[in-house]
Structure 1
Amino acid sequence: MNQKKRLAIFDRLAEANPHPATELNYSTPFELLIAVVLSAQATDKGVNKATAKLFPIANTPQAMLSLGLESLKTYIQTINLYHGKAANIIKLCQQLLDKHAGQVPQTREELEALPGVGRKTASVILNTAFGQHAIAVDTHIFRVSNRTGIAPGKNVREVERKLEKWVPEKHRKDIHHLLILHGRYTCIARKPKCPVCVIEDLCEYKEKTTDLAENEMISRPARNSPRLVES
């Protein structure tokens, strides 16, 4: 993999999906923050189903605190790890009120100081809510980066550093969503859909698939596929 090929990959992904966006439903930075906290080890679809009922009741830090811990749990109980997430959300809301006048901060340091918010979550908020060129590496991006060869790394930070080095400025804002959506729908975990992939000829994956019909039957991730736990 060389930089010329990387640039071609980024360009093709952008051309195929010129307006990539998160699949989490939100209308304010606070709603996005809560949705991203809930999305750890959960699907966007599951989070959206829960927040569709939660946000009309509580979509500000004060409203969430007024709702209370136990009531919050009833809204998010279908989401994995909801007990811990609910506790973090209550603490997070209190900290937003105490230190940030109820507003979501716009710096990585302040975001990562919030309960339940790690580097990946902070990067998503900086990029999606505030338009900063932060690259959040989740399981999909980690897999795509390693499988294609565009930014191979043994861990999330190594992949992130390489993407930051090699992604050109024109793609920095959208690269997170371009890669995550490519990994979610085309470069899937068990058997990637190579026959319909727009970067198939540029990708350096050595075990490319040829039977799309077989791919369509696969829904479970491979047991040996990368599993990352990162907030």
Structure 2
Amino acid sequence: MKLHKACTGLSSNIQLPLHLLLLLLFLLYVEVPAAAAAANISSPRCIERERQALLIFKRSLVDDYGRLSSWGTQEDCCNWIGVHCSNRTTGHVLKLDLHAEYVFPHRPLRGKLSPPLLELQHLTYLDLHNNDFGGNPIPGFIGSLSKLKHLHLSDANFGGNIPHQLGNLSNLHYLDLSSNYFSVESQLGYWLSHLSSLTYLDMSGVNLGSAFDWLHTIKSLPSLSVLRLIDCQLSESVKSPSPLSLINN
């Protein structure tokens, strides 16, 4: 009888760790897929139509230095160089920063801007400065990116007229068109006066000599706090309303 009890006790001692092991294996079986699913939910994944739009847009550019080599090689465009996506629930492309650094050797993108950018309707930030767009004009469709808040196109070898469609960017806070080769029409206010949210404007190096309404237009921008008009061939004396910070040579 004592031997039987001893064996029973020994059997119980052996079975208890086995039960725990089975329980742990079951929990791992349940938790690991759940954790993986949670990771997929928490990581932003780009939207397929926006991914395809970026790939088509890339074809209109000449990338001599392989700056966009990650575009297409990785499935998720949120991981591509210069592409920044929204929060963990939508995955929309919010920011496109393809500016070239001011370092030697200069490694600009070349080519032109193409309409597939219009698929990025949630884009709030576009920076293409210090590239080389060969004297091509800024395309008017940029004015259809209605959520843009930051547009930086300085020193990018744009030419022609500044498209009046930029006046549709009512949410724009920051606009830098400096150091390009624009032919400015006589009525600057035709588009600029509509940018009521603008706080920063740089048109340095742009010949505004023929724009007779430039001063009236600038004063009509209610939110403007920083204005840069260096080397703009302005003949009229500058009288800027406080607290506007104006730089003019």
Normalising to structure 1: TM-score of the pair? 0.25
Which has the larger helix fraction? 1
Normalising to structure 2: TM-score of the pair? 0.24
**Greater Rg over alpha carbons, structure:** 2
| Higher RCO structure (Cα 8 Å, ≥6 apart) | 1
Which has the larger strand fraction? 2
